[in-house]
Structure 1
Amino acid sequence: MPPCIYEFLLKECCEATRNELVQKIVQILERQNDPETTSMFTFLSDPDPVAVRRILSSPFKRAENHGSLDRICILALSANKARMVVRDYEEPPVWKVKNQIRQFFDAQQIVGAPKPASIYSLAACMYHDGRKEMQKEDVQDWMNWAIYGKRLSGRIIAKMVKRIQARGGMAWIHAAAIKSWLISQKKEEWTVDLDQARVTPAYLCGRLFAVLEAVPYEAVKGNETIASRFYAAASSTPRTIFGLLMRNSKWHLSKISKENKGYEVRYQQRIQLITGQLKEFPAVLDLQGQAEFALGYYHERQDIYKKKENMPADAANVSDLNKTVVEGE
């Protein structure tokens, strides 16, 4: 039986990189058709939420997957003027590819995410305008992580951190990308939502910044948050800015107390809980630390407003703040 060839073409990526063509040709051996494998490659570019949930919830059985199909040949090509250039060629076992794609979607799971993220979305979120600024190496890095499980490069997190600092906050897609990067380093697992057991200084600083951002917003009901002014400094050199933010929060907490004592107590409890675990503010955070800061910031914000949305008197203001920094692109 002649082998059947499936073409996996990231059209969006090709448009984003203009004349650079990035395509994957998947050649299935030993079997005419394997719908599960084919569909898994297809929704890397257009993930179907139902299909992703099914993959994440289904038990992985190496013997079963390996028995139905042996290997797939993955050929990566790019355009060089009038010629096609072979960029990469692999023959991984099917069970490994399936398992890695499952890990790709599992790693990006984050509280507040409305849908699974595609490779293109994860690569594009590092830029103000992904279609104009994205480089082919960005897509290749995410593709290698999604299919082969190769560690995402430091270049990815450097661009991500720079983008978040420039916009003064982060959307869910940034949190999904950062969590994926951290997991790809194969150092430890990361939770989908707030991790009370994680007490690294960088993560705690991110959580504290989220609380200190919420306090003045609650007090003055403004449209601008401190993230737009102080996120870059807080996430890179915490010691230089947190003292000022802590002092300013006292006035805002006093104002909140006059209007709603319950809110003031809850914010105080969060601040005391975090600072009680934080021995001192780090002088400098490296890229790993800045990634942890960002995830702590995102996790804490989501936890604050998940609980406050159950309080009708403040629901509208909470929703506005969440859209201001976290949900907006």
Structure 2
Amino acid sequence: MSALAALVRAYDRMAARGEVPPFGYSRTEVGFCVVLDTDGAPAFPPIDLREGTGKRRTGKIFNLPTPLVQRTSGISSNFLWDKSAYSLGITAGSGKRTADEHEHFKSFHQRLLAGTQDPGLATFLRFLETWTPERFNVLGWQEDIKDANIVFALKDEYHERLLHQREAAHSIWMDLYTREQASEAQCLLTGEVGRVARSHPPIKGVWGAQSSGAFIVSFNATAFTSYGHDTAPISEASAFAYTSVLNRFLDRGSGHRLQVGDASTMFWAEATEQAAADAAEQIFASLLAVNENTESKKVGALLEKIAQGRPVSDLKPELPPGVRFHVLGLAPNAARLSVRFYIEDDFDVIATRYLRHLQRLRIEPPPHEPSPSLWRYLIETAVLRKSENIAPNLGGDWLRAILADTHYPLTLLSSVIMRLRVDHDVNALRVSLLKSILIKNFAMEAPVALDPDFTDKGYLLGRLFAVYEHIQEAALGRNVNATIRDKYYGAAAAQPRKVFALLGSGAGNHLSKIGKQRPGHRVNLEKAIGAIMDMMDPGDDPFPTSLSDKSQALFTLGYYHQRNEFFRKSDSADAAAVSETAP
């Protein structure tokens, strides 16, 4: 099933629960309601529908007749609602064409509502005939009304319904919305014969896209036909359905979206039992740190078991069965949207893949944050740890690889290594990323904690570098202007031959100083160096000219493990700890 077809199916389920607007309507933020008396005059100052306090006040969401066209430079009115420039003829801006916009709003409704017998619509016509923009100041209405979206209601029923919610208004609107002549064809998404949509509603809320909305499917020339046939015959109902669902998922706080790099990612579930689908969405949201409150106990228990090293296969029975799960990633591309990835599978399959990913990230000692989000890991790859510096495609490619169970993008490996060369900050997040790449892409059994029997040269060199650093600290203290990590980490990891002879010479001087004060400590540190060197392949150069990215990742892993093994002990027991863990 394609992503759009799955979204159409989701619309049917969500519409039954009232979560998406009906055909021909869209969720729109409204600031004020103008209440009309029977003579068409405003009964009292407009009702402020906004919620919140101060500058953070936001309008109330209503299902309003969807705009007939996406306004850019032209003038086009909405049905029974619009921003103040159209509906009242006032604006906070320069208002060069406000008079034309308001006149269009009047003539548009006078043409549509001419001869109506509905008392509410007749009252609205009287309002249009008598209202002038100058009355705004005469009535002393508040300035916040300017440029807000305005709806209308009758005085006797504004608590119950708005003008556009009257049956007569709905009938007129649906006749207008479907009036445009369109060919009929078999819908590409549903297989049903219906009127082909000439244009699709805009999709709003995709990070980086135009605020007015962008499109997955769009046409701007008659060339996009094949022998007179539509190249993408999608019915009006299907076009409305998939865009309505996407706009709902992209809403703030919808619980169905997360941002991974430049990919706005949405997820949803379908199941015979709605409770199972809801549970799957909540678990997925919690796993990816979208909402820390949903299913927190259940997810916390799963993560705790992974932290304890339990196999993911043992956790599978705890996931809701019989749920089909969908994950869609969209990224901006000028006025259009590109589908970065679309994954559809059984929920237990997708969740198991993600849990295995978390298992690959296990490191000792773990990050300070109990369950870091994908974004938290991604900013470790960015210059200055700023989200805008994350490589454009990296987040989406990484999430797709996790959920599809494919190799991680190698740009993730190179990005982490580059940041380590520049800032030398070897932290748990970066090390766990490197470890997960080694396991997934290179099929290695990378150790979670210090492994004294792991003989990979990159890992051993990282451990040796950590011992040299510890020797420097033991001799000079930790308040050194520039440690060997500050000076040599990047070079040692990339080109060991250039650096390790110098580090060994410096360690000899530092050991002499340590020996004068703590001769036993010096002996244990020398044994630690010897034990690591003894594990090197005697027939191979212990300090190669260069290390591959894979070996540099192992260098970082070995350094992190050995370094933190020292931290686990007190200064008096550091050397003993190294002696015990080294073979």
The question of a shared fold, defined as TM-score above 0.5 by the shorter chain, is answered with yes
Q: 1: CA distance between counterparts of 2:485 and 2:535?
A: 23
> In the alignment, what sits opposite 2:395?
139
Corresponding residue number in structure 2 for 1:42: 285
5 Å-filtered alignment, 1:246-261, equals 246-261=504-519
Give the deviation of 1:63 after TM superposition: 8.0
Q: Residue 487 of structure 2 corresponds to which residue in structure 1?
A: 229
Find the residue that maps to 1:92 and give its secondary structure. Answer: strand
Structure 1 residue 86: Cα displacement: 2.4
Measured after TM superposition, the shift of residue 37 of structure 1 is 2.7
Query: In 2, are the aligned partners of 1:202 and 1:285 still within 8 Å (CA)?
Result: yes
1:156 matched residue in structure 2: 412
Find the aligned partners of 2:365 and 2:466 in 1 and give their Cα distance: 16
Aligned CA-pair RMSD: 2.8
> Which residue of 2 is the match for residue 293 of structure 1?
555
Q: Does 1:122 align with 2:377?
A: yes
The answer to whether residue 531 in structure 2 is matched with residue 266 in structure 1 is no
Name structure 2 gaps, 5 residues minimum: 1-9, 15-244, 250-254, 575-583
- For residues 92-150 of structure 1, what are the alpha-carbon distances to aligned partners after superposition, in whole Å with 9 as ceiling and x for unaligned? 22222121111111111111222232211111101222323013312113312432222
Measure how far apart 1:65 and its partner are.
6.8
The offset of 1:226, in angstroms, is 0.3
Structure 1 residue runs without a partner (length 5+): 313-329
The structural deviation recorded for 1:201 is 0.9
Q: 2: distance between equivalents of 1:54 and 1:152?
A: 24
Aligned length: 306
- Superposition deviation, residue 41 in structure 1: 2.0
Q: Which amino acid aligns with 2:300?
A: V
The TM-score normalised by the length of structure 2 is: 0.49
Aligned partners of 2:313 and 2:501: how far apart in 1?
A: 49
CA 1:67/1:38 → structure 2, altered by over 3 Å: closer, same or farther?
Answer: closer
Please state if 1:8 is matched with 2:250.
Answer: no
SS of the residue 1:292 aligns to: helix
Distance 1:199 1:311 in 2: 25
1:166 to 1:52, Cα distance in 2 relative to 1, 3 A: farther
Q: Which amino acid aligns with 1:38?
A: E
Q: State the Cα distance separating 1:247 from its structure 2 match.
A: 1.2
Change (3 A) 1:282 1:58: closer
SS in 2 for 1:26: strand
TM-fit CA distance, 1:23: 1.6
Is the CA contact 2:497–2:545 (under 8 Å) kept in the aligned structure 1? yes
Native 8 Å contact 2:343 2:403 kept in 1:
no
Query: For residues 105 and 309 of structure 1, what CA distance do their matches in structure 2 show?
Result: 33
Q: Structure 2 vs 1, CA of residues 40 and 188 (structure 1 numbering), >3 Å: closer, same or farther?
A: farther
Using the TM superposition, give the Cα deviation of residue 24 of structure 1 relative to its aligned residue in structure 2, in angstroms. Answer: 2.1
TM-score for both structures, normalised by structure 1: 0.83
Q: 1:160–1:178: 8 Å Cα contact kept in structure 2? A: yes
Cα offset, 1:237, TM superposition: 0.9
Match of 2:428 in 1: 172
What is the identity, as a one-letter code, of the residue corresponding to 2:395? Answer: V
Looking at structure 1, the residues matched to 484 and 331 of structure 2 have their Cα atoms a distance apart, in angstroms, of 44
C-alpha deviation, 1:58, in angstroms? 7.6
Q: Distance in 2 between matches of 1:51 and 1:310?
A: 38
Superposition deviation, residue 283 in structure 1: 1.6
- The alpha-carbon distance between structure 1 residues 192 and 257, as it changes in their structure 2 partners (threshold 3 A), is same
Amino acid at match of 2:362: Q
Matched residue, 1:32: 274
Counterpart among 23, 31, 35 of residue 265 in structure 2: 23
- Contact kept? 2:469, 2:483, Cα under 8 Å: yes
Once the two structures are superposed, residues 8-29 of structure 1 have per-residue CA deviations (whole angstroms, 9 ceiling, x without a partner) of 3224x4xxx6xx4522222323
- The yes-or-no answer on 1:282 pairing with 2:544 is yes
Identity across matched positions, percent: 23
Match of 1:107 in 2: 360
Q: Closer, same or farther in 2 for the Cα pair 1:62/1:75, shift >3 Å?
A: same
Please identify runs of 4+ aligned residues in structure 1 that moved more than 4 A. 1-7, 61-67, 309-312
Distance 1:303 1:167 in 2: 22
Q: The residue matched to 1:43 in structure 2 has which SS?
A: helix
Q: State the distance in 2 between where 1:250 and 1:190 align.
A: 31
Q: Deviations over 1:49-85 (max 9, x none)?
A: 8345345248636984788224212222223344333
The 8 Å contact of residues 312 and 356 in structure 2, kept in 1 or not, is answered as no
Alpha-carbon separation, structure 1, partners of 2:335 and 2:348: 36
Structure 1 position 195 matched with structure 2 position 461: no
Q: CA deviation at 1:30?
A: 3.0
8 Å CA contact retained: 1:168, 1:229? no
Contact 2:341 2:396 in 1 (8 A): no
- Secondary structure at the residue paired with 2:388? helix
Q: Give, as a single letter, the amino acid of the residue that structure 1 aligns with 2:286.
A: F
Change beyond 3 A, Cα 1:197–1:187: same
SS at match of 1:281: coil
Name whichever of 120-129 and 300-309 sits farther off.
300-309
Counterpart in the other structure of 2:327: 74
- Residues 1:139 and 1:44: Cα distance change in structure 2 (over 3 Å): farther
Q: Which amino acid aligns with 2:357?
A: F
Conserved? CA contact 2:416–2:430, under 8 Å = yes
Range with bigger deviation, 42-51 or 223-232: 42-51
- Which letter maps to 1:149? D
Contact 1:74 1:90 in 2 (8 A): yes
Give 1:122's aligned amino acid. Answer: Y
With 140-149 and 167-176 compared, the bigger mean Cα shift is at 140-149
Between structures 1 and 2, the one with greater helix share: 1
State the 1:177 CA deviation. Answer: 1.0
Structure 1's 59 and 192: CA in aligned 2 closer, same or farther, altered over 3 A? closer
Structure 1 residues 65, 173: CA separation in 2 closer, same or farther (over 3 Å shift)? Answer: closer
Query: 2: distance between equivalents of 1:234 and 1:180?
Result: 22
Residues 153 and 255 of structure 1: is their aligned pair in 2 closer, same or farther, counting only changes over 3 Å? same
Larger CA Rg, structure 1 vs 2: 2
Task: Provide the C-alpha distance between the structure 2 equivalents of 1:238 and 1:307, rounded to a whole number of angstroms.
Answer: 28
Cα-to-partner distance string for 1:167-212 (whole Å, 9 max, x where unaligned)? 1241111111111111121512222111112101111111100111
In 2: Cα distance, 1:172 partner to 1:164 partner: 12
- Residue pair 1:104, 1:145 contacting (<8 A) in 2 also: no
